[in-house]
Amino acid sequence: MITLTRRYRFSASHRLQSPHLSDAENARIYGKCNNPFGHGHDYRLEVTAAGEIDEVTGQLLPLAALDRLVEEQILPRFAFRNINLDVPQLSERVPTTENLALVIADLLEEHWRAYLDGTGARLYRVHIQETDRNGFELLIARASRPVVAEEESVKSYA
Amino acid sequence: MTMLVTRKGEFSASHVCRIAGLSDAENRRIFGESAHPNGHGHNYIVEVSVEGDPDPKTGMVIDLQELKDAIEEEVVGPMDHRFLNFEVEPFDRVVPTTENVAREIWRRLDARFQNAAARLAKVRLFETADLYVDVEREGLRA
């Protein structure tokens, strides 16, 4: 299997506070990350695509198209933003880096075809370093891409 | 229990990504700045992982010297301070994208470990700190 990974950066602030927990529980669970005024990180986002090498271009995907996808659809939503206040998908969910990875993966999947259709490459992994010490990795289930094909084949049998 | 052992190597090389027969504009559209005809260079970093069971006597998956020698003889020696397109097979006819260089490193090392106790599991090639390609044995993460 061959994958290509590109790293991007964005700086954002957040506060970890769950509406399902009391103030005391929030303080206990999230510690410093529960500071009422929030705090920020220089996040590093790794986007990994899996696919086949095009024998003519030698590329798994056109790098410029992946960069455009991330620079147009992902980074502007998070860079220099307060995640709790400025990212609607995370206004109701605690903006842990786990949840952030899930939201970014959904956005990448949503816009993938508009930028990378025809390349045969699929989203394979989203990895976020919140700091040098904290990393979070989401492997995209293989089923999440071929669902369309499966639905089509089901229809053809119906 | 199967374990992975990873060793890192570094080589600095120049390359140019162009397809013969395409116009300047087309090459630039596909490869961006990497298509500039006179070439440019990178400090490549390669991480080579082999997998196997630790030997009950030595406690080692592989003699690290063997892994070090393989990386030196198959990758760093032939590629360090070279212009890949002109000096390293098969890049006179295969575009030396990160993908193709990673695949070539896999090919060279996989052949080398065919008869060894440990087998090649993964090659990770960094072209820059922000771009890397992994080539790994099918089912490695299963």
b/e per residue A81-119 (b: at least 16 CB within 10 A): bebbeebebbeebbbbbebbbbbbbebbeebbeebbeeb
Closest Cα to residue A129, out of A105, A107, A90, A101?
A101
pLDDT confidence of residue A112: 98
Mutate to test the interface with A, among B134, B135, B141 (most CBs of A within 10 A): B134
**In sequence order, which residues have a C-beta less than 8 Å from that of residue B61 and are 6 or more positions away?**
B3, B4, B5, B50, B51, B52, B53, B54, B55, B117, B118
CA–CA separation, A11 and A81 (whole Å)? 8
Domain CATH code at residue A55: 3.30.479.10
Domain CATH code at residue B79: 3.30.479.10
Chain B: residue nearest A65 by CA? B30
pLDDT confidence of residue A101: 97
Q: How far is CA A4 from CA A76, B97, B124, B141, in A?
A: 23, 11, 10, 16
- Residues of the domain holding B50: 3-136
Asked if the structure places residue B87 within a domain, the reply is yes
B66: how many CB neighbours lie within 10 A of its CB? 15
Asked if the structure places residue B105 within a domain, the reply is yes
Mutate to test the interface with B, among A2, A9, A127, A140 (most CBs of B within 10 A): A2
Predicted confidence (pLDDT) at residue A122 exceeds the cutoff of 50: yes
Residues in chain B where the model's pLDDT stays below 50: none
Closest Cα to residue A108, out of A128, A90, A94, A124?
A124
Confidence of residue A157 (pLDDT cuts 50, 70, 90): very low
Confidence of residue A158 (pLDDT cuts 50, 70, 90): very low
ipTM: 0.89
Cβ atoms of A70 and A105 closer than 8 Å: no
Closest Cα to residue A119, out of A67, A71, A72, A49?
A49
The three-class DSSP label of residue A41 is: strand
CA distance B58 to chain A (A): 31
Asked if the structure places residue B142 within a domain, the reply is no
- Residues of the domain holding A21: 2-157
Q: Which residues of A touch B (CB under 8 A)?
A: 1-8, 48, 53, 56-60, 62-64, 139
Q: What is the arithmetic mean of pLDDT over A53-60?
A: 96
**Helix runs in B12-61, H state only:** 24-31
Burial class (CB in 10 A: 0-12, 13-18, 19+), A142: exposed
User: Total structural domains in chain B?
Assistant: 1
Chain A: residue nearest B35 by CA? A57
Pair of tokens at residue A133: 């010490």
Task: Answer whether B103 sits within 8 Å of A53, measured CB to CB.
Answer: yes
Predicted confidence (pLDDT) at residue A155 exceeds the cutoff of 90: no
DSSP B59-102: --SS-HHHHHHHHIIIIIHHHTTEEHHHHSTTTTTS---HHHHH
CA distance A63 to chain B (A): 8
Task: Answer whether B132 sits within 8 Å of A4, measured CB to CB.
Answer: yes
pLDDT tens readout for residues A57-100:
999 999 999 999 999 999 999 999 999 999 999 998 999 999 99
Task: Answer whether A3 sits within 8 Å of B97, measured CB to CB.
Answer: no
pLDDT confidence of residue A142: 63
Cβ atoms of A84 and A90 closer than 8 Å: yes
pLDDT confidence of residue B115: 81
- Give A-chain residues touching B133 at CB under 8 angstroms: 2-5, 60
Q: Omega before B90 cis (within 30°)? A: yes
Chain A: residue nearest B138 by CA? A1
More confident call, B29 vs A141: B29
**Which residues between 74 and 103 in chain B have a beta carbon less than 8 angstroms from any beta carbon of chain A?**
94-100, 102-103
pLDDT confidence of residue B82: 97
Task: Answer whether B98 sits within 8 Å of A57, measured CB to CB.
Answer: no
Predicted confidence (pLDDT) at residue A149 exceeds the cutoff of 80: no
Any CB–CB contact under 8 A between B33 and chain A? Answer: no
User: Total structural domains in chain A?
Assistant: 1
Task: Answer whether A4 sits within 8 Å of B131, measured CB to CB.
Answer: yes
- What percentage of chain A reaches a pLDDT higher than 70? 89
Asked if the structure places residue B141 within a domain, the reply is no
Cβ atoms of A2 and A48 closer than 8 Å: no
